[in-house]
Chain A
């Protein structure tokens, strides 16, 4: 059980109902319950706003208008969405194998740092530099997870700690580059690296969104296909489900873990390069990543490692963040906005639980300690 499911189950334990795992989780229900959770949470938010004397209808209208009312809103969401989608896709891939890459923020930063290094030192045609920047970022992201991946694959070292801690190392390196070795000496006030003189081509009709937006969509499509129709995807799912059975089936479990972890780092690293090559974001400073890795992790966890779910969820959260910024400029307190984020994310998480569990009336059996053994005994009884 996820922590939230445990809490939900504990809350239910004082009622005549309990949670029961569904035998099958179908994709449509999974999507609908999450959307339902988000909508339900927004209704709760609206009621709370009304109760505290705020005009909830005006606030929601402002938020919707800010996002969908003008092209700037839609592009703003897309710009915030790209780094979140990239880190989320990396994490979602690792979750398919039940590996928890908490370090996508660090991989993202190292990818961007490598891209800056290439971008400010290389002369040549823009397209070539950009391609080399992308390659460097991909390699750097993978390199940043190499040690945790080797340790996890061959010595069973818990990857949660190692990947998490490397985030802080990456942040220090970025700060150092901005203050020290790649510092922009001409703009003495701003502590940042020099600026990369190239940007990716814009999308037709867009003002600020580049073709970078296509990259997470293509990656999601490729991953979806890999897990639907290839033996590699099948093997990763088997490893995630039961590594011993994977060994029994002759899958090289350790090598697969290593490779998949490197891929998750590579995707996050490429995300760093995409962020860096957007107009106006071509230099790095200590605030380069607004904890995109953390947002990406939330998206991947809520999407239940479904790749299209990551795209939908990532864009939703990006719009939520964008609306939050607009609402701040309209005078809504930042604390209220954070509270709203929290309620909405909780609503989606409850929707995720609803996709996997259902609420049933309690049997006399459940009144006793509901341990695994008894659950097994109950199933056995029910089989007869």
Chain B
């Protein structure tokens, strides 16, 4: 029973929730209807996830009511919520990697038969997939699947338990652009079938692309609920941030000496497959060269070969005229190369170490801190204090572990640390990924500041808007090849989009 398009499926009335005295939600009203995709929008920490955790029975509200399909509910666990038809797919998947898709869908499901063969599980799963129109190989092991497919398994698992209201928490954060498009199609399909889908995101383009209605939360207060039709990105952005902050970037044409030159560079990825084919690139001092491309087309390897974290198969790389082919990571860093790595937490930080120790990770060996063998402890402390202040990292103490920092603070710390280390060249890989609008603006200002002070910047991003906004020149990468390089003035969005999708110059032109 899904009802018509007007009746609400889930209603939250006057929901309040505080954590340790800090209000995460303040008397929020929220209503979702059957057969609609409802985007829940807001910056990091606006209360989106908290609200949905209450709807899905993970938290209990301090005040307010949750009404599901006309009946007031008091969920004490996610199991209660799923019994009432509300299910959530979390940002971090809860799948058992060595087990098959069919096994994962049936795990912990009361309707799974007590004694059952693999064959029967697969049959049940296939029947179920044809009902929902979502398909994944039921015999595949989870670790063999792409992230997008794993997400589909999570959605299937929730739908299998009878969910009629599906909550997706930042579902595109982990997806490639193509996978995201596929997800949008699935979501539209589910809503057309009568379900409600709550789509949590802070990406404005997704809101406009996928939702029927939208609700904006800011600092735990509902700003607006309205139909998506007729809404503009800048209007939503203003409601999210409370002010319209558009970075005004002046693009330049720079003719100085090249700070970074790649000639015929080829390199392998971790699986031993060629990830970069014969790449030629030049970045001049005082300019930002943006690399546009869909994730997984060699960008990771490109950043790593430049910083000597990955070896070359052929070709040469020079920084300020010195060839780096046989240099160590440290020697390249000492040339004045900073690197904001793609995986800030996994590569750029040590969560168990203190903020202070993380602050000097990329320059502790320099004369500023190291005298022979000894490390100047006071110097490190002073440097860390200044860095934390400059990057506006909120931490109780520089001696506390980096693991206690929130994600945004961790990112700001790494971005500012690397910007300081970069005298000649800053390699920034997806520097604003996962950040809210304000934090992203701060990181972008930092990068622009480096450019203006004469540093060369290689900006890698799968967010084409960001590449177009920031870059003085743009190179498009596809399957490890550079498809073309453009001055910002002559860059055409559609043309670049075609090149990113693998259409050659002649086809695109």
Binds B, one of A73-81, A205-213, A228-236, A290-298: A228-236
User: Known contacts being A365-B58, A371-B94, A384-B220, is A245 close to B361, with CB within 8 Å?
Assistant: yes
Q: Are A367 and B53 in contact (CB under 8 A)?
A: no
CA distance A90 to B434 in the complex (A): 42
State the total of A-B contacts with C-beta under 8 angstroms.
Answer: 137
Q: Is A186 an interface residue (CB 8 A)?
A: no
Q: Is A123 an interface residue (CB 8 A)?
A: no
In the complex, chain B residues 210-268 whose Cβ is within 8 Å of any chain A Cβ: 219-220
Chain A contributes a number of interface residues (CB within 8 A of B) equal to: 40
Q: Are B58 and A374 in contact (CB under 8 A)?
A: yes
Q: Is B151 an interface residue (CB 8 A)?
A: no
Binds A, one of B119-127, B313-321, B395-403, B494-502: B395-403
Question: What residues of A have a CB within 8 angstroms of the CB of B349 in the complex?
Answer: 242, 245
Question: What residues of A have a CB within 8 angstroms of the CB of B45 in the complex?
Answer: 380, 383-384
Q: Is A331 an interface residue (CB 8 A)?
A: no
Q: Are A23 and B351 in contact (CB under 8 A)?
A: no
Query: A30 → chain B, closest Cβ, in Å?
Result: 14
CA distance A369 to B57 in the complex (A): 11
Question: What residues of B have a CB within 8 angstroms of the CB of A379 in the complex?
Answer: 406
Q: Mark B17-51, 1 if CB is under 8 A from A, else 0.
A: 10110101000000000000000000011110110
Query: A298 → chain B, closest Cβ, in Å?
Result: 23
Query: A182 → chain B, closest Cβ, in Å?
Result: 41
User: Known contacts being A229-B375, A249-B362, is A381 close to B53, with CB within 8 Å?
Assistant: yes
Question: What residues of A have a CB within 8 angstroms of the CB of B364 in the complex?
Answer: 231, 234, 249
In the complex, which residue of chain A has the Cβ closest to the Cβ of B369? A231
CA distance A364 to B81 in the complex (A): 14
Q: Is A238 an interface residue (CB 8 A)?
A: yes
In the complex, chain A residues 40-89 whose Cβ is within 8 Å of any chain B Cβ: none
Q: Mark A200-235, 1 if CB is under 8 A from B, else 0.
A: 000000000000000000000000000011111110
Q: Is B357 an interface residue (CB 8 A)?
A: yes
**Contacting residue for B365 out of A231, A377, A378, A382, CB 8 A:** A231
Binds A, one of B187-195, B288-296, B328-336, B384-392: B328-336
In the complex, chain B residues 342-384 whose Cβ is within 8 Å of any chain A Cβ: 346-353, 357, 361-362, 364-365, 370, 373-375, 377
In the complex, chain A residues 349-384 whose Cβ is within 8 Å of any chain B Cβ: 363-365, 367-369, 371-374, 376-384
CA distance A241 to B90 in the complex (A): 27
Q: Are B309 and A234 in contact (CB under 8 A)?
A: no
Q: Is B341 an interface residue (CB 8 A)?
A: yes
Question: What residues of A have a CB within 8 angstroms of the CB of B92 in the complex?
Answer: 372-373, 376
Q: Are B329 and A248 in contact (CB under 8 A)?
A: yes
Q: Is B91 an interface residue (CB 8 A)?
A: yes
In the complex, which residue of chain B has the Cβ closest to the Cβ of A233? B375
Question: What residues of B have a CB within 8 angstroms of the CB of A241 in the complex?
Answer: 350-353
Question: What residues of B have a CB within 8 angstroms of the CB of A233 in the complex?
Answer: 375
Q: Is B438 an interface residue (CB 8 A)?
A: no
CA distance A246 to B94 in the complex (A): 29
CA distance A367 to B59 in the complex (A): 9
Chain B contributes a number of interface residues (CB within 8 A of A) equal to: 61
In the complex, which residue of chain A has the Cβ closest to the Cβ of B79? A368
In the complex, which residue of chain A has the Cβ closest to the Cβ of B17? A381
CA distance A241 to B46 in the complex (A): 32
Question: What residues of A have a CB within 8 angstroms of the CB of B20 in the complex?
Answer: 382
In the complex, which residue of chain B has the Cβ closest to the Cβ of A371? B94
CA distance A384 to B59 in the complex (A): 15
Q: Are B57 and A231 in contact (CB under 8 A)?
A: no
Q: Are A228 and B377 in contact (CB under 8 A)?
A: yes
DSSP majority for the A interface?
A: helix
Q: Are B22 and A382 in contact (CB under 8 A)?
A: yes
**Contacting residue for B350 out of A245, A365, A380, CB 8 A:** A245
Question: What residues of A have a CB within 8 angstroms of the CB of B22 in the complex?
Answer: 382, 384
CA distance A295 to B486 in the complex (A): 67
Q: Is A250 an interface residue (CB 8 A)?
A: yes
Q: Are A238 and B357 in contact (CB under 8 A)?
A: yes
Q: Is A29 an interface residue (CB 8 A)?
A: no
Question: What residues of B have a CB within 8 angstroms of the CB of A365 in the complex?
Answer: 53, 58-59
Query: B20 → chain A, closest Cβ, in Å?
Result: 7
Query: B478 → chain A, closest Cβ, in Å?
Result: 27
CA distance A157 to B400 in the complex (A): 33
Q: Mark A241-260, 1 if CB is under 8 A from B, else 0.
A: 11011111110000000000
Q: Are B400 and A23 in contact (CB under 8 A)?
A: yes
**Contacting residue for A373 out of B94, B362, B400, CB 8 A:** B94
Q: Are A247 and B309 in contact (CB under 8 A)?
A: yes
Question: What residues of A have a CB within 8 angstroms of the CB of B50 in the complex?
Answer: 380-381, 384
CA distance A360 to B27 in the complex (A): 27
Q: Are A364 and B60 in contact (CB under 8 A)?
A: yes
Q: Is B269 an interface residue (CB 8 A)?
A: no
In the complex, which residue of chain B has the Cβ closest to the Cβ of A240? B352
Query: B335 → chain A, closest Cβ, in Å?
Result: 12
Q: Is B78 an interface residue (CB 8 A)?
A: yes
Q: Are A24 and B401 in contact (CB under 8 A)?
A: yes
Q: Are A23 and B59 in contact (CB under 8 A)?
A: no
Q: Are B333 and A250 in contact (CB under 8 A)?
A: yes
Q: Mark B73-99, 1 if CB is under 8 A from A, else 0.
A: 000111100000000001111100000
Q: Which 3 A-B pairs have the closest CB atoms?
A: A250-B329, A250-B330, A384-B45
- In addition to A229-B374, A384-B220, 18 A-B residue pairs with Cβ atoms within 8 Å of each other are A228-B377, A230-B373, A230-B375, A242-B351, A245-B348, A245-B349, A246-B350, A247-B309, A250-B328, A365-B53, A368-B58, A368-B77, A376-B91, A378-B59, A380-B45, A380-B49, A381-B19, A384-B46
15 contacts between A and B (CB under 8 A): A23-B396, A237-B350, A245-B347, A248-B329, A249-B362, A364-B59, A368-B77, A369-B78, A376-B92, A380-B44, A382-B19, A384-B22, A384-B24, A384-B46, A384-B219
